Amino acid sequence: MTTRSAFRQLSTPARLLVLNQFGINVGFYMLLPFLASYMSGELGYGAAIVGLVLGLRNLSQQGMFLVGGTAADRIGCRPMIVLGCALRVVAFGLFAVLTSLPGLVAAVVLTGLAGAFFNPAVRTYLMHEAGERRAEAFSVFNVFAHAGTLVGPLVGALLLAIDFRAVAWVACLAFAALTVAQVLVLPHREVEPQRSSVLGSWREVVTNRRFLAFTVSLSAYFGLYNQLYLTIPLEAQRVSGLSWAITVVFVVSTVIGVFWQVRITEWCRARWSSGRSIVLGLACMGLSFVPLLVASPMIATRAAGADAGVTVAAVMVPVLVTTVLFTVGQAITNPFAMELLPVVGSERLAGTYYGFYYLVSSVAAAGVSWLVGALLEMAGAAQLRWLPWLALCAVGLAGAAGTAVMERRGLLERSAADGSGGAPGHGSGGASGESSDERAADGTDRTEGR
């Protein structure tokens, strides 16, 4: 199945959501990759201040995922999506008119809050719209997200030739157009009444043992995902001595994501269960670092400007093999993980479950990045250069092993939480409301009301 045919099979609101994600990524990556150089170069801020500002953006987004997801369940997905995009309009407008540190801090905090508001809401809305083809819907969603990630920096680089403020204004206008489109076109969905308080819904989430086990296993995905922006580009530049080698890594990854994501999902769907696909995807992501584990200690650091040609091509082979296997593993894992989250959690509280999942995963990702960064510093000597890659292999295989245990015990199936006396591993917190699977047992289609 091609991406075009998969896109056509989506409902009209789902198509709008995936197009919306393309626009969101174009606007976001049009500006954010250039913010650090703008602050340090044109505005003259020190590296510590730049790092603090960028860290505040991550904190304001990751720390508010649970709040954003909970609001999507109680207020509705559509209002939260519109609010998130509107906040990006304000945030990027501030980048265009303010250069003081307080102004930049306000802009990055609003940028992060916007992501925390619309990310869980978009996924919850798409989950409801997709019906039984959730993995396929999230696969198309990922294609458009990858395309936006590719187009955004290209547009930003062109506009940067004028001025950074031009980048900010265009990004601001892009989010304004998205906000208007969502207000006019995105249908309203009825919000299912919640029978418990906010704290009660959070209690349900944190006492759902099989969801927590799934989240811990899947946190390996985000721990490894960050390496596409950290260790793999650093290794590409180290072995080649060329800064543009980083671009090669991103282009290879994006091309696979855009042109092969849907085919990979369809191929896995025809052969394995969703749980088995996640196991193989995480294992592929972890094992993708084996080429670097083997080759990195044998390849010396090349100085910038060193002779290029056949030698550079040869030393880049392990990096590119890792990039290909890593991206294929991502493409296998993500759609099926998104499909199973409301299965091990609850469709009634899908936004809260998505928000909690992203919150835990962001903490795990920060921890893995810190660990690998420390190991990279320790591995200055060639004989220890395999150490970071071994750690990343272990992270991927640990996540795959945890998911495999749940799959083998039947904890990733809908029947694991039906109304037949409860499932092993399912927490006691579900008393505040029936699970999605308990409601599905009566044959009612809960995708109605769209």
Averaged pLDDT for residues 16-44: 91
CA distance 345 to 443: 19
Asked whether residue 5 carries a pLDDT value surpassing 80, the answer given is: yes
User: Which residues have CB under 8 Å from 107's CB, separation 6+?
Assistant: 91, 92, 94, 95, 98
291 pLDDT band (50/70/90 cuts)?
A: very high
Q: Is 430 among the domain residues?
A: no
Q: Look at residue 100 in the predicted model and tell me its pLDDT.
A: 95
Domain C-terminal end among 188, 213, 247 = 188
**Does 374 fall in a domain?**
yes
Q: Which of these ranges, 18-27, 292-301, 403-412, has the smallest mean pLDDT?
A: 292-301
How many Å apart are CA 201 and CA 445, to the nearest integer? 23
pLDDT band at 37 (very low <50, low <70, confident <90, very high): confident
Query: What Cα–Cα distance (Å) separates residue 326 from each residue in 197, 198, 282, 310?
Result: 41, 38, 9, 24
Per-residue burial over 192-209, b if 16 or more Cβ lie within 10 Å, else e, is bebeeeeeebbbbbebbb
Q: Could you tell me how many residues make up the chain?
A: 450
**Which carries the bigger pLDDT value, residue 3 or residue 265?**
265
State yes or no: pLDDT of 441 exceeds 80.
no
The answer to whether residue 143 sits within a structural domain is: yes
Are 291 and 151 members of one domain?
Answer: no
Amino acid found at 324: V
Same domain, yes or no, for 177 and 224?
no
Asked if residue 446 is part of any domain, the answer here is no
Domain boundary among 143, 161, 188: 188
205 and 174 within one domain: no
pLDDT at 303: 56
Q: Of the ranges 101-105, 155-159, 279-283, 313-317, which one carries the lowest mean pLDDT score?
A: 313-317
Assess whether 206 and 178 both reside in one domain.
no
pLDDT, tens digit, 9 for 90 and up, residues 89-130: 999 999 999 999 999 999 999 999 999 999 999 999 999 998
Q: How confident is the model at residue 438 (pLDDT cuts 50, 70, 90)?
A: very low
Q: Tell me what pLDDT residue 51 has.
A: 78
Q: List pLDDT tens digits, range 149-170.
A: 889 988 998 999 899 999 999 9
- Per-residue pLDDT, 381: 59
In a shared domain, residues 336 and 352: yes
Q: What pLDDT score was predicted for residue 218? A: 95
Q: How far apart are CA 366 and CA 62, in angstroms?
A: 11
- pLDDT given for residue 309 in this prediction: 55
Is pLDDT above 90 for 382?
Answer: no
How far is Cα of residue 212 from the mean position of the Cα atoms in its chain?
18
Q: Are 291 and 394 in contact (CB under 8 A)?
A: no
Cβ pair 213, 425 in contact under 8 A: yes
**Model confidence band, residue 307 (pLDDT cutoffs 50, 70, 90):** low
Say yes or no to pLDDT of 180 above 50: yes
Residue 443 has pLDDT above 70, yes or no: no
**Does residue 442 sit within a domain?**
no
**Which of 28-32, 87-91, 234-238 shows the lowest per-residue confidence on average (mean pLDDT)?**
234-238
351, amino acid identity: G
Please check whether residue 204 lies inside any domain of the structure: yes
pLDDT of residue 417: 41
- Alpha carbon distance 391, 401 (integer Å): 15
Instruction: Please determine, for residue 53, whether its predicted confidence score (pLDDT) is greater than 60.
Output: yes
In this prediction, residue 434 has a pLDDT band, given cuts at 50, 70 and 90, of very low
pLDDT of residue 310: 56
Neighbours of 252 (CB within 10 A): 16
What HEC string does the chain produce?
A: CCHHHHHHCCCHHHHHHHHHHHHHHHHHHHHHHHHHHHHHHHCCCCHHHHHHHHHHHHHHHHCCHHHHHHHHHHCCHHHHHHHHHHHHHHHHHHHHHCCCHHHHHHHHHHHHHHHHHHHHHHHHHHHHHHCCCHHHHHHHHHHHHHHHHHHHHHHHHHHHCCCHHHHHHHHHHHHHHHHHHHHHHCCCCCCCCCCCCHHHHHHHHHCCHHHHHHHHHHHHHHHHHHHHCCHHHHHHHHHHCCCCHHHHHHHHHHHHHHHHHHHHHHHHHHHCCHHHHHHHHHHHHHHCCHHHHHHHHHCCCCCCCCCCCHHHHHHHHHHHHHHHHHHHHHHHHHHHHHHHHHHHCCCCCHHHHHHHHHHHHHHHHHHHHHHHHHHHHHCCCHHHCCHHHHHHHHHHHHHHHHHHHHHHCCCCCHHHHCCCCCCCCCCHHHHHCCCHHHHHCCCCCCCCCC
For residues 202 and 116, state if they share a domain: no
Task: State the average pLDDT over residues 43-55.
Answer: 86
9 and 125 together in one domain: yes
Domain end (from 149, 168, 188): 188
Phi, psi of 161, deg, nearest 5: -65, -25
Mean predicted confidence (pLDDT) in 242-255: 85
What pLDDT does residue 423 have?
A: 37
Mean of per-residue pLDDT scores for the chain: 86
The pLDDT assigned to 425 comes to 37
pLDDT at 312: 78
- Above 80 in pLDDT, residue 300? no
Per-residue pLDDT band at 429 (split at 50, 70, 90): very low
Q: Is the pLDDT of residue 226 over 50?
A: yes
In this structure, the number of other CB atoms found within 10 A of the CB of residue 367 comes to 13
Inside any domain, residue 180: yes
Classify residue 433: in a domain, yes or no: no
Q: Is 157 in the same domain as 265? A: no
- Our count of domains for the chain comes to 2
Residues 323 and 364 in one domain: yes
Residues 130 and 249 in one domain: no
* One domain, residues 148 and 258: no
Q: How far apart are the first and last CA of the chain?
A: 26
Residue of 243 and 427 predicted with greater confidence: 243
Q: Say yes or no: 95 and 40 in one domain.
A: yes
State the residue range of the domain holding 107: 1-188
| pLDDT score at 75 | 93
At a CB cut-off of 8 Å and minimum separation 6, what does 196 contact?
Answer: 204, 432, 433
CA atoms of 402 and 211, how far apart (whole Å): 12
Question: What is the residue type of 227?
Answer: Q
CATH code at position 9: 1.20.1250.20
